[in-house]
Amino acid sequence: MQYKRHWMFVCGIVAAAMMVLSFAGCAKKAVTAGPTAAPGDQQVVSETKTVAAAPATTEAKPEAKEAGLVTEYVVKKGESLWWISKYKDIYDDPYLWPIIYQANKDQIKKANLIYPGQKLKIPRSGLTMKDVEKARKQAGAKKPYKPSKDSRPPVN
């Protein structure tokens, strides 16, 4: 009987240790590209392109050029459309990921499958507020589906 208790105790400790180690790498860290960013995070800024000449349907607003907003983004390991749209220099709103997905449907087959090295187009204009609200609703945002004042949706 005593032997069985010791065995159960050891198995419990081993199982707990395995769970702790398996969940240790699951936390996603937000990447910022500001002055407080780590040297590795600065690469995000250097690999992105600012607004350039685009077709008339996706022409960027002049304030997008001045603000240095990103129009193309290179996916890093561990990122998702949710995280990319949450970055301050993208949309600063995670619920706008469907906009990025719709703009890149030619290279993204499923919204949850993006790969490191993919170059994603980031729309900066050409959408109405109804389109933005529809995207937020699709992403699961709570009512009302209006973006926050801090976000940068691609609205004309």
Instruction: Give tens-digit pLDDT for 3-54.
Output: 788 888 888 888 887 776 666 555 455 444 444 444 444 444 334 444 433 3
Q: Two tokens at 123?
A: 């729309």
Q: Is the CB of residue 122 less than 8 Å from the CB of residue 70?
A: yes
Mean pLDDT of 61-76: 71
- Quote the pLDDT of residue 22: 66
Edge-first strand order for the sheet with 49-50 is 49-50, 70-74, 119-121
Between CA 108 and CA 75 the distance in angstroms is: 12
Domains of the chain: 31-139 (3.10.350.10)
142-153 residue pLDDT tens: 998 999 888 888
0.75 surpassed by pTM: no
Find the helix or strand (DSSP H, E) in which 71 lies.
strand 70-74
Mean pLDDT of 61-88: 81
Averaged pLDDT score across all residues of the chain: 77
What pLDDT is stored for residue 42 in this prediction?
40
The alpha carbon torsion through 145, 121, 31, 139 (nearest 10 deg) reads 30
Q: For residue 113, name the pLDDT band (cuts at 50, 70, 90).
A: very high
pLDDT of residue 105: 95
End-to-end CA distance of the chain: 75
Q: Would you call 4 helix, strand, or coil by DSSP?
A: helix
96, 151 Cβ separation under 8 angstroms: yes
Average confidence (pLDDT) over 71-83 = 95
